[in-house]
Amino acid sequence: MLSLLDLGAAFDTVDHQILVERLRRTYGLSSRALDWISSYLSGRTQFVRYNGETSQVVTSGVPQGSVLGPVLFILYAADVIKLVEDAGFSVHSYADDLQIYGHADPPQSTELMADCVTSVETWMASNRLRLNLANTVWLGTSRRVQQCTTDPLQLHGASIQPSNCVRDLGIVVDSGLTLVDHVTHITSVCFFHIRQRWLIRRSLTVDTAHSLVPAIVNSRLDYCNALFATLPASQMSRLQSVFLSSSSARAAATRSSSRFICHAQLAALAQLSTTGHLQVVPVDVHCTVYVFMVWHLTT
């Protein structure tokens, strides 16, 4: 089971008095250090002015975009972690993103998760935070799809239906834990950017065209790539096709020097392949040899 909780205007609703008191009682800040935090928070106002109109002045919250702001919010909401653990679930917190997950038998899973989320909502309300139930996502996961629960979460009159897949910090998690939806998302986005590069290639210099595709494609393929270790061959081949298209696009941008680049890459990868972490596969495209890397988990 996985629940992704969304907090409405989380950084703007932090109560300064509660935060200072929590820093003193829970974390032991005192004297000059506590006075420094109080001085940092007091007298701070925020508003937006556009086209002669001014928004409501905000006197609470911590500054977004600052180094200290996320740290203060994490300290402010840290008690919710123990609350979730006492309910028998695990929790991951990343700034104002809260993820509750755990395991339970299908007949009890929905009720246990609903009780846990309700406790979190009650705690947040008492600390002047607001849980946005409209954007809260609930996912029942199982290797056997037929065992995934289809019961909604009932929270204070709101009914949250289970989703087939959710987006969690850039990773698309499906109810069967197959990562098929995530691979589909990555390949579609990467191929879109590769096609876009072809449309503007005449406006790019050789160096820019050569570095553009790896910058926008490889970064997406490398993000959380440890999850790909257990992918079946059918899904891994889809990711490999993106590598192939990316390599072809790079080589086409430097057609005159492609053989030199390929030989240099081949020499470097041949040395790396002896460690067993990379497999080098030569691919023949338009009579020019390109190097294609196949990442795999060695046993």
* SS3 sequence of 5-42: ECECCCHHHCCHHHHHHHHHHCCCCCHHHHHHHHHHHC
Interatomic CA distance for residues 181 and 204, integer angstroms: 33
Question: Is 80 exceeded by the pLDDT of residue 13?
Answer: yes
CA dihedral angle for residue 98, residue 99, residue 100, residue 104, rounded to 10 degrees = 170
261 vs 255: CA distance, rounded Å: 10
What are the beta bridge partners of residue 50? Answer: 53
Residue 143: what pLDDT? Answer: 53
For residue 151, pLDDT beyond 70 = no
C-alpha angle 147-149-154 in degrees, rounded to nearest 5: 170
Q: What per-residue confidence (pLDDT) applies to 182?
A: 92
pLDDT in tens, 53-75: 887 776 788 877 788 888 899 89
Q: Which pLDDT belongs to residue 295?
A: 39
Helix intervals (H) in 6-145: 16-25, 31-41, 68-76, 79-86, 106-126
- Residue 64's CB is within 10 A of a number of other CB atoms, namely 14
Of 153, 86, 152, 73, the C-alpha closest to 117 is 153
Q: What is the pLDDT of residues 28-38, one digit of tens each?
A: 988 999 999 98
Give yes or no for residue 285 having a pLDDT over 70: no
Instruction: Tell me the average pLDDT across 226-246.
Output: 85
Q: Give the pLDDT band (50/70/90) at residue 133.
A: confident
Q: Is the dihedral of CA 237, 241, 242, 243 positive or negative?
A: positive
Residue 256 has pLDDT above 60, yes or no: no
Supply the mean pLDDT for the chain. Answer: 75
For residues 80-93, average pLDDT = 89
pTM for the whole structure: 0.65
Poorest-confidence range of 112-126, 165-179, 204-218?
204-218
pLDDT of 249 > 80? The answer is no
Residue with tokens 């928004």: 55
Angstrom distance (rounded) from CA 105 to CA 149: 9
pLDDT of residue 109: 73
pLDDT band at 282 (very low <50, low <70, confident <90, very high): very low
pLDDT reading at 149 higher than 70: no
Position 176 scores a pLDDT of: 80
pLDDT at residue number 60: 80
Angstrom distances, CA of residue 197 to CA of 204, 208, 238, 264, 285: 9, 11, 20, 24, 19
Q: Which is nearest to 156 in space by CA: 128, 192, 119, 186? A: 119
